[in-house]
A and B are shown apart, each in its own frame.
Chain A
Amino acid sequence: MIRLLKIELLKLVPYRTFKILFAIYILLMTLALLVGKNLAGGGEEGLTSANVLGFPNIWNYYTLYACYFNIILAILVIFVTCNEFTYRTLRQNIIDGLTRQETVIAKITLIVLLSIISTFILMLSGLIAGNIYSLPEDKDQMFAHSGYIFAYFIQSLGMMSMGYFFGTLFKRTGLAVIIFLIFLFPIDVILREGIFPDGFGDYMPVATYFLKMVPFPVDHLMSGGLESTSSAPTALSLVVGAVYAVVFCLLGWLITKKRDL
């Protein structure tokens, strides 16, 4: 497993597109926190910086934001996956001695590693921003809503697994990215609102990741900041999100196993 990850890192680290995209990702993750800086002054009531980006509400708001940046990581995984087809290196890796299964596991270990890193970035910058914005008396609630950090981890895994699946299915970078984006926005909405409107559609992959796991803090906003955000994502949404991640990886594995490369 570690060997497979090392192989992936040998390919990935010198890859300039990776460096650029990952730098953009980190920039967005950190700069996004500036958005809350100038919210309605420093009063104690209402939607102030302290109320939105202080503990514990920051975890809901920050993940709500940050989960969109996972799209960058997913596209990165599509690039990396499709490169193996474009350069015909997937078949070369197999000729050189990897099993088909190992090529899949290698990508999964990479996805897990990137998820851990991105979650770590979220946690670290969240803690720093939270400490800056929080009122002194709220600082003991630092990890009160930290279930969202875990949700973000699952979401990273799921989004990148989805990217891996689309990359494997379509093989060509441009095509895979476009279809991934179409799936991300119109298709999922059509499935959710048009075809499975009653409940079930809310748990389509994209809806699960963007709406269910990181719910929009309606109560908090409607109450003008008087009520807290919900304390954690629902267990159901986490389980469904994790199941999708596994399903996408399994589908990628099935395709890789069946296909002539």
Chain B
Amino acid sequence: METILSTTALKKQYGPIKAVNGLDLRVEKGAVYGILGPNGSGKTTTLGMLLGITHPTSGAYSWFNNGAHDINRKRIGALLEQPNFYPYLSGEQNLKVVAKIKGVDEKTIDAVLESVNLLDRKKSQARTYSLGMRQRLALASALLGNPDVLVLDEPTNGLDPQGIAEVREFITRQSASGRTIILASHILDEVEKVCTHVSVIKKGTLLAEGSVADLIKGETQIEIAADNNEIVLQALQSFTGIRKASAENNIIVLNVDDMFDAAALNKYLSDKQIYLQHLNTRKKRLEEQFLELTAE
């Protein structure tokens, strides 16, 4: 897998406040990578550093395995916080500025406007656009130059249900066409719907990272532990219904089918003279965790 983005111990400190505290992320090509965290958790600060507008206090990042060079940003289409445009310029004129910056042919402007349904309003001043239209203009702008990666920060913020649906549909379409997408959001549901991978951050610290299937969908998980976990793992190989077994900190975590019977597992192991010290069934670990931390 080709790595699109990696960060190592990325850190941003504002006085005593650690906005981003040693973040290690890795985004593979083709992923729809969600950065999930409550407001103020450091998502935008992180993206700001990755996009060259905020200086990291320490740590490093690398796009396309090519370090932090300015030139990398021409392969990235990004929308950070709200859409930023010259309000007195028309949608089309705004995109001309972007096209010139990216070194892209102006002829491609109509195509990207078309793809977000703004072609008929391209001559209107951006200040006359509704929030939804400005958001779509920003998406069109991000698409200019056919970037390898789209970075979207809270792209559905403030939009009505229809606007939200449009943006999500847009992300799905872009992902299907092979683009890597990095999406920051505080909405679990959104990440769950569109992302393939997710990292959860809070107060600038990474809480969890993995595929959405593993983490958010958070199927049933069973934790078990015995005196000798090696023997348990061997015994489990012939037990049906276990998708994945992984050992972490003396505890074996099993990802299992929905109808999995924990009692049957316990009986099966005890028949084999293996007695568990610990057996715990849990569901949607991350969602609970996320709700806890957002509830603060």
- Chain A residues engaging chain B, CB cutoff 8 angstroms: 3, 6-7, 10-11, 14-16, 83, 87-89, 91-100, 258, 260-261
Check B53–A94 contact: CB distance below 8 A: yes
Check A91–B85 contact: CB distance below 8 A: no
B126 to chain A, nearest CB (A): 9
CA gap between A98 and B85 in the complex, in Å? 15
Check A89–B84 contact: CB distance below 8 A: yes
Q: Which residues of A contact B274 (CB under 8 A)?
A: none
Q: Which 8 A-B pairs have the closest CB atoms?
A: A92-B84, A88-B84, A97-B74, A99-B70, A261-B53, A91-B53, A260-B54, A96-B101
Check A11–B52 contact: CB distance below 8 A: no
19 A–B contacts, CB within 8 A, in A order: A10-B93, A11-B86, A14-B89, A16-B88, A83-B86, A87-B87, A88-B82, A89-B86, A91-B53, A91-B80, A92-B80, A93-B101, A94-B51, A95-B52, A95-B78, A96-B98, A96-B102, A97-B101, A260-B53
Q: Which residues of B contact A10 (CB under 8 A)?
A: 89, 93, 96-97, 100
Q: Which residues of A contact B48 (CB under 8 A)?
A: 260
Question: Beyond the given A92-B85, A261-B54, could you list 4 further A-B residue pairs with CB under 8 A, ordered by the A residue number?
Answer: A3-B103, A95-B76, A97-B71, A97-B73
CA gap between A16 and B84 in the complex, in Å? 19
Residue of B with least CB distance to A88? B84
Q: Which residues of B contact A91 (CB under 8 A)?
A: 53, 80, 84
CA gap between A14 and B101 in the complex, in Å? 18
**Is B173's beta carbon under 8 Å from chain A?**
no
What range describes how many residues of B lie at the interface? 20 to 34
CA gap between A96 and B73 in the complex, in Å? 6
Q: Which residues of A contact B285 (CB under 8 A)?
A: none
CA gap between A108 and B51 in the complex, in Å? 24
CB-defined interface of B69-113 with A at 8 Å, one 1/0 digit per residue?
Answer: 011011010101010111111000100111011110000000000
Q: Which residues of A contact B85 (CB under 8 A)?
A: 87, 89, 92
B6 to chain A, nearest CB (A): 20
Partner of B84, one of A3, A14, A87, A98: A87
**Is B244's beta carbon under 8 Å from chain A?**
no
**Is B193's beta carbon under 8 Å from chain A?**
no
B96 to chain A, nearest CB (A): 6
**Is B267's beta carbon under 8 Å from chain A?**
no
CA gap between A100 and B73 in the complex, in Å? 12
**Is B55's beta carbon under 8 Å from chain A?**
yes
CA gap between A119 and B141 in the complex, in Å? 37
A71 to chain B, nearest CB (A): 23
Residue of A with least CB distance to B82? A88
CA gap between A45 and B87 in the complex, in Å? 57
Q: Which residues of A contact B88 (CB under 8 A)?
A: 14-16
> In this complex, which of B76, B80, B101 has the most chain A Cβ atoms within 10 angstroms of its Cβ?
B101
A170 to chain B, nearest CB (A): 19
Q: Which residues of A contact B97 (CB under 8 A)?
A: 7, 10-11, 93
